[in-house]
Amino acid sequence: MKAKISGISRLRIGVDGEGVTTLVAFMLCPLTCEYCLNPQTLSVSYHHKEYSPAELYDEIRKDELYFLATGGGVTFGGGEPLLSHQFIKEFRDICGDQWKINVETSLNVPPSFLETVIPVADEYLIDIKDMNPTIYKSYTGKDNSQVLKNLRTMAELGLSGKCVIRIPLIPGFNTSEDVAKSEAEVIELGFERIDKFEYDIGYAERKRNMQDA
């Protein structure tokens, strides 16, 4: 099994998971977000590498001392990492139990994909965009019914403590009031760790321009 990887970023500290982490960004995403920060993951022409789980392990195990000392590990992002759910499961089998595995996801995937990863992931960083289906579709081009279903599943399985729910204020798409409504809904579902923030459109646009150049 091989996965298309758009980038590997080593030695990240306190950014996307506890301790020292390595970010592994997969290609492909079901969403087409207006301000996507990693649009290269959607481009079929983008130069990427393909790794098997064992090859990826060999690539990033050089930082194992840091992972073990700080309670860190690997953060799978993208793109949408849950599209590579079998890869992540196989990677866990290879890396063992001591590394943390974090997943940065939109949860907009079939429930079976999430079910594959649940036994092997330690933490989820879930960017729900907005709970309002109209706003969500307007920003991502997709509906959020799978997101809602997967959120409910995680809450019912008692996994809310492993989740950080990220709720962005998206200029031109939602308002502070919308963010507050989304927050209330996810709290109602049982989630407590919530990260509200504002998208930096300027950065996304600069990145896209660099990509096009």
Partner 1 sequence: MLKEIRRRIAIENEIEFITSECRHKGSCAGTCPKCEAEVAYLESQLAARKRLGKVVKVVGLSMGLATIAPVTFTSCHPHDGDMAVDVLQGDVVNARPDDQEPKKLGGDVAITPDQNLL
Single residue of 137, 162, 181, 207 touching partner 1 by CB under 8 A: 207
Task: Give phi and psi for 196, each to the nearest 5.
Answer: -100, 135
- Which of 156-188 are b and which e, b meaning 16 or more Cβ less than 10 Å from the residue's Cβ? eeebbebbbbbbbebeebbeeebbebbbebbee
Q: Show contacts with partner 1 in window 151-190 (CB under 8 A).
A: 164, 166, 168-169
Q: How many chain residues touch partner 1 (CB under 8 A)?
A: 58
Measured N-to-C along each axis, helices 85-95 and 53-60 cross at an angle, to the nearest 10 degrees, of: 50
The nearer residue to partner 1, 49 or 137, going by C-beta atoms, is 49
Give one DSSP letter per residue of 66-81, joined into a string.
Answer: HHHHHT-EEEEESS-G
Single residue of 65, 93, 111, 161 touching partner 1 by CB under 8 A: 65
Single residue of 15, 93, 152, 184 touching partner 1 by CB under 8 A: 15
Q: Show contacts with partner 1 in window 107-146 (CB under 8 A).
A: 123, 125, 127
- Beta bridge partners of residue 21, listed in sequence order: 12, 73
192 scored as a contact of partner 1 (CB under 8 A):
yes
210 scored as a contact of partner 1 (CB under 8 A):
yes
43 scored as a contact of partner 1 (CB under 8 A):
no
42 scored as a contact of partner 1 (CB under 8 A):
no
Task: Give phi and psi for 133, each to the nearest 5.
Answer: -60, -35
Pairing of strands 20-26, 3-13: antiparallel
- Kindly state the tokens that stand for 6: 């758009």
- Kindly state the tokens that stand for 146: 């799978």
The nearer residue to partner 1, 70 or 132, going by C-beta atoms, is 70
- Which of 35-46 are b and which e, b meaning 16 or more Cβ less than 10 Å from the residue's Cβ? bbebbbbbeeee
The nearer residue to partner 1, 23 or 107, going by C-beta atoms, is 23
Judged by CB under 8 A, the stretch of 34-42, 82-90, 111-119, 131-139 that binds partner 1 is: 34-42
For binding to partner 1 (CB under 8 A), which residues are involved? Answer: 5-20, 23, 25, 35-38, 40, 48-49, 62-63, 65-66, 68-72, 75, 77, 98, 104, 123, 125, 127, 164, 166, 168-169, 192-200, 203-204, 207, 210
